[in-house]
Amino acid sequence: MRQTCLIFAALLLVPHGAMAQQAETPRTDWGTPDFSGYWEYNTATPLQRPADVADKPVLTPAEEEAYMVGLYEAIRHERDLQLNADWWQPGTLTNGRTSLIVDPLDGRLPLRTASADHRAETIGLRSRLRPADGPEDRERYERCIMGRTVPLLSQPPGKLAQIFQTPNYLAILHEQNSDLRIIPIASTSRREHIPANIRHCQGDSRAHWEDDTLVVKTTHLSPENLMWHNGMPFSGDPDTYIIERYDFVGDRFSMTAEVFDSRYYEEPYVIHSYRERIIDGVIFEYECLAEFNGAG
């Protein structure tokens, strides 16, 4: 059953209206796909499918045009509750899709466990409605320690990332919060994961090539790490991990992530998003002042 779901989910990744014309994959001097350069990640497609389009995983162009009017207004209202939204560029829907989640097929996160429900009450946006007893009582993104970049998802407003690639490493520098994620590739001496008792907010990533796809497995995730969009942390259990797959679809950087966290979710789930190449990209210094968020 799960295999059937994944096959159907793969069909959702094809651009609506026509098959994407496959551009020639850029390659490094050593023959692998070349992800180096500047990439923008941005989409108005939410992580989970809204109830008003529950039966529409993909919208037609006409449906998308009508839908975006209300979606832009909802985004503007949400941002006005926190800060001025005039500078936002919320983007458009990814391939007309109504959710970044492609499995389960309803575009929603799987059922949460009781442990996850309890944790949801103590972290994320809900905790911002009450005073903090100390800095540790606020999540790391709010404290300007790190962004929410594992897995690498798209979310408005548009953000830049610069990728550096060698035969042995892939490094992703995010403009937001100046996050730097360094991923060893299997041919390096850092093939084994760090000791089991160590947890890290970015987790511990190791990559290997499967044909033209770079497969990244991330383990050792800290329970303080927050994912994009949903404000839910990883449980930090030893069996929690993420499998990301990086490849090219046309001239776009495609990222699929399958998340395994049995303590918090009753089944795995799969997320898919794209990055667009920016020819003249520039990474600027990122100013993040924790006191503006009530954590200073």
Give the H or E element holding residue 102.
Answer: strand 101-103
For residue 71, being part of any structural domain is answered with no
Question: Distance between CA 216 and CA 205 in Å, rounded?
Answer: 6
For residue 17, being part of any structural domain is answered with no
pLDDT, greater one: 136 or 38: 38
The whole domain housing 165 covers: 28-46+112-293
Q: Quick one: pLDDT at residue 138?
A: 64
* Sign (positive or negative) of CA dihedral 289, 291, 295, 296: positive
* CATH code for the domain in which residue 249 is found: 2.40.128.20
Average pLDDT, the chain: 79
Answer whether residue 18 shows pLDDT above 50: no
The 10s digit of each residue's pLDDT in 184-219 is 998 655 567 788 788 877 889 999 999 999 999 999
Confidence of residue 19 (pLDDT cuts 50, 70, 90): very low
For residue 77, being part of any structural domain is answered with no
For residue 277, being part of any structural domain is answered with yes
For residue 69, being part of any structural domain is answered with no
Confidence of residue 72 (pLDDT cuts 50, 70, 90): confident
Phi/psi-derived region of residue 95, left when phi > 0, alpha when psi is between -120 and 50, beta in every other case: left
Q: Quick one: pLDDT at residue 294?
A: 47
User: Is the separation of the CB atoms in 80 and 138 below 8 Å?
Assistant: no
pLDDT, greater one: 116 or 248: 248
For residue 164, being part of any structural domain is answered with yes
pTM: 0.82
For residue 237, being part of any structural domain is answered with yes
Mean pLDDT of all residues in 122-140: 62
For residue 2, being part of any structural domain is answered with no
How many other C-beta atoms can be found within 10 angstroms of the C-beta atom of residue 224?
18
Total domain count for the chain?
1
